[in-house]
Amino acid sequence: MATITFYPSKPTGESTIYIRLSLKRGKDFRLSTGFSIKNAGDWNPITKLPKKNNEYNKLLHSKLYELESFITSEIDKLLFDNTKSIDDVSSKWVKNIISQFNNEAIEDDDFLIVYANKFLRNLQTKTYFKNGQNFIYKENTIEKYKYFVEDLVAFEIKLGKKIKVIDVDDSLGNAFIVFLKSEKKQSQNTVGRTIKRLKTLVSDAEMNGKRVNVRYRLMKGFEDETIVTYLSLDEIKKVIKTPMPNPRLELAKEWMIIGCFTAQRISDLFRLDSSMIVYEKNTPYIYLKQYKTDKKVKVPVHYKVEEILKKYDLNFPPRFSNNERSNAAMLSDLIKEVCIVSEINETVRGRLNGIIGHYPKYQLISNHTLRRSFASNFYGMEGWNTPMVMEITGHSTEKNFYKYVDKDNFTLSEKAALNFAKMKHEEM
């Protein structure tokens, strides 16, 4: 009788998972499964499987269990085949079975997961055209597609069958939506983007000659109601005037002010340095090419930002870490604390962890709030027009820009009312 066990190749850290298949004396095989565990400390030595202590390990646990069943099934086929026997099992045979399971054979790229993995690998060198320009895919985009493929694998495990590219239609798309919401607990916006990626994937397969179900075109990406949380100019002034209890929060406060008055994404905020500052007619500007879009912007330096730069000898404040993601995560946490200290605690409507409700405002503040604050505060302000604001934020279309503007802020309507009053006065 076959005995199958799994084990990590190393006792700690990220480790390849190996399989040991024992059939009888002389038939004992040890090979890589093609899977890896992010932390070998999460391995359960009793069950010989990963602990189910996070989503990744739950998925890995299920996948290894499924691999064991797949190999057992293939061995059973040998037992009932009059032309073959256990003696035909070799290291190469086991390796081929594992490859079949992992859908790595060339003929298996009709399977959705296989095609998705190929698509993901191709993104490393693939380019796309937008507004007449050729762009490479950013690391963040590739990372999002990695999570997308993980979602597909988890969905396939839930279904208990392998999905082919041709199986994808609006019905399967709807089932995927239900899975993402109920099992993965994803927000409406995240689910909508995931479905959009699924449609992109199948469209790419169709362009590459794969047979598809035309009903996949009925799938549509979607997004939830846009709720813009931003800091008003009065709230920003309140933050500026409030002393912070320690240097770390003071540093976060400075980056917060810079973010509110430069309107740059977090991916660009921590890339700012003195070499980007240029004086023209004694006026300082920040010149930069935005990381996400490669768009060049020229940002006039707000006098409050200039005060911070002078504090650091015309340079930007120090970062929290040398790691970009760590910087972003730390700032996101710290600016909430800055708002607590500054008593930005009014109860407002917003979305927290995907749930719309009413919360103390400081809970809703994130890195992206800073960019939104610029857009909402200067949109409709006297002396400002939409193209001026967009030139600083770097938005290419008004459609995308308006997602950053508070829809409940009726500045333009109030301005129109003043114009009506002025017209009335002139006619009298």
Predicted local confidence at residue 131, as pLDDT: 66
Q: Hey, is 3 helix, strand or coil?
A: strand
CA distance 85 to 131: 62
User: Is the pLDDT assigned to residue 316 strictly greater than 50?
Assistant: yes
Q: Give the Cα separation of 56 and 318 in Å (integer).
A: 35
CA distances to 120, 290, 397 from 294, rounded to whole Å, are: 22, 5, 15
* Sheet with 296-300: strands ordered across: 277-280, 283-289, 296-300
Distance CA 302, CA 309 (A): 11
% of the chain residues with pLDDT over 90: 46
Rounded mean pLDDT, 242-249? 96
Report the predicted TM-score, pTM, of the whole model to 2 decimal places.
Answer: 0.60
- pLDDT higher than threshold 90 for residue 61: no
Q: Band of the pLDDT at 107, cuts 50, 70, 90?
A: very low
- Name the residue with tokens 């047979």: 211
Work out whether the CA dihedral 156, 162, 168, 174 comes out positive or negative. negative
For 130-152, the pLDDT digits (tens) are 766 777 888 778 888 988 988 99
For the chain, state the CA radius of gyration.
28
What percentage of residues in the chain have a pLDDT greater than 70? 91
Question: How many CB atoms are located within 10 Å of the residue 262 CB?
Answer: 23
Extract the tokens encoding 371. Answer: 């960019």
Q: What is the pLDDT of residue 112?
A: 92
Cα dihedral angle (394, 380, 229, 182), rounded to 10 degrees?
-70
Mean per-residue pLDDT over the chain, rounded: 86
Q: Is 351 helix (H, G, I), strand (E, B) or coil?
A: strand
Q: What is the CB-side half-sphere exposure of residue 217 using CA atoms within 13 A?
A: 4
- More confident: 400 or 392: 392
Is 329 exposed, middle or buried, given 0-12, 13-18 or 19+ CB atoms closer than 10 A?
middle
Confidence of residue 105 (pLDDT cuts 50, 70, 90): very low
Token pair listed for 283:
């006026």
Q: Looking at residue 416, what is its pLDDT?
A: 54
Kind of pairing between the strands at 27-37 and 15-24: antiparallel
Q: Are strands 49-50 and 27-37 parallel, antiparallel or unpaired?
A: unpaired
What's the confidence (pLDDT) of residue 101?
81
Distance of CA 169 to the CA centre of its chain: 25
Q: What pLDDT was estimated at residue 418? A: 58
255 pLDDT higher than 90: yes
Biggest CA-to-CA distance, the chain: 107
Q: What is the mean pLDDT of residues 295-307?
A: 93
> How does residue 271 score in pLDDT terms, banded at 50, 70 and 90?
very high
Question: What's the whole-number mean pLDDT along residues 198-224?
Answer: 92
**Is 265 in contact with 291 (CB distance < 8 Å)?**
yes
Q: Give the pLDDT band (50/70/90) at residue 379.
A: confident
Task: Give the residue from 351, 248, 263, 350 showing the smallest Cα distance to 300.
Answer: 263
- Would you state the structure tokens that stand for residue 383, as one six-digit string? 């002396």
Between 410 and 406, name the one with better pLDDT: 406
Look at residue 248 and tell me whether its pLDDT is greater than 50: yes
Q: Spell out the alpha helix ranges (H) of 80-224.
A: 91-101, 112-122, 139-159, 170-182, 188-207
Q: Which residue has the tokens 């995927």?
A: 176
pLDDT digits (tens, 9 = 90+) for 169-193: 999 999 999 999 998 888 888 899 9
Among 126-130, 296-300, 348-352, where is mean pLDDT lowest?
A: 126-130
Question: Beta strand 296-300 with 283-289: parallel, antiparallel or unpaired?
Answer: antiparallel
- pLDDT at position 106: 43
Per-residue pLDDT tens digits for 26-41: 788 999 998 889 899 9
